[in-house]
Chains A and B, each alone.
Chain A
Amino acid sequence: MEIFNDSPPSVLHAEFPGHFENLSDIAAFVRKAAVEAGLDDFSVYSVETAVDEACSNIIEHAYKGKQNGIITITCTIIPGELTVELHDTGKSFDPTRVPKPKLDVPLEERQDSGLGLYFINQLMDEVIFSFDKKFGNTLTLKKKASPLQPPDKQ
């Protein structure tokens, strides 16, 4: 619906202290934005997952338990599309050095790490990491409404 894309985007902005206890408030914030963007139910869940994984990584690795780290979240909404920008001022990392989890190995060989970044990459339409020594780290996630529905419970 091209006509709707001519309307100006709506922008939601919030800051959260980087603590695991705030993950549920962060989830509620981005879920609201995803619903407002008109995303389907599984896309809303996908955004919640990607943002939760990214924020968990920021808290655990970028801020490493530092008590006063802030996560700044900006949601830009146009009908049928949501862009989420996550900003932190913690330690940067190289996403290309995180190994992709091996999903087809037997149970005993399954590693219990690496799924977070994998989820982010699989569930979002666009994933852009940028690291700047002066301004900090920004992760941009984009999700478009999908006409495809998730597979039904078997």
Chain B
Amino acid sequence: MEISNSQFKHCDLITVVGRIDSATAPQFAEVFNSIMNEGRYKIVLDMEKIDFISSAGLRVLINSQKTCKRYNRGEVVLTNVPPNIFSALDLAGFTRLFKIFPDVLTAVGNF
């Protein structure tokens, strides 16, 4: 898994390439935590190049969403969600808990 993040004026963009499983979820969590620890809570996750996400990755998403939404200070939103991953998110009830945008520009523009 490769992970990178860029800081924009109104939000942060996280881009992941590869698999998010129990081996890589800690590194995935670390990127969210480092952004949130700096007091930034508006985060876009670009999922276009994610091949696979397990419940270990979903755990990171739900915990980050809880932290970001606290005090109404921000939220995590998703973009470019591949169909298989969308189905997994839907099965887990996550499609109600995260806004999903068709492309990065619209997702970033939401903030």
Contact = CB atoms under 8 A, between A and B. Distances in A.
State whether these chains interact.
Answer: yes
Contacts, number: 86
B32 to A, nearest CB: 13
Nearest to B21: A23
B22 A103 contact: no
Given A107-B65, A112-B62, A56 B21 contact: yes
A119 B88 contact: yes
A122 B81 CA distance: 21
A48 B87 CA distance: 14
Interface of A is mostly: helix
Nearest to A106: B97
A53 B55 CA distance: 7
**Interface range on chain B: under 10, 10 to 19, 20 to 34, or 35 or more?**
20 to 34
A79 to B, nearest CB: 22
Contact of B87 (A42, A59, A113): A42
A20 B92 contact: no
B84 interface: yes
A42 B23 contact: no
A24 B86 contact: no
B69 A107 contact: yes
A88 interface: no
A117 to B, nearest CB: 9
B73 interface: no
Given A24-B23, A108-B66, A150-B84, A56 B56 contact: yes
Given A20-B23, A45-B52, A103-B93, A151 B87 contact: yes
B90 interface: yes
Interface residues of A, number: 34
Interface in B11-25: 19, 21-23
B62 A56 contact: no
A90 to B, nearest CB: 15
A88 to B, nearest CB: 15
Given A119-B91, A150-B83, A153-B83, A59 B66 contact: no
Top 3 A-B pairs, shortest CB-CB distance: A103-B93, A20-B23, A115-B55
Given A59-B22, A107-B97, A110-B62, 18 more contacts: A20-B21, A20-B23, A23-B23, A27-B19, A27-B21, A45-B52, A45-B87, A49-B52, A53-B54, A56-B56, A101-B92, A104-B93, A107-B62, A115-B55, A150-B83, A151-B86, A154-B86, A154-B100
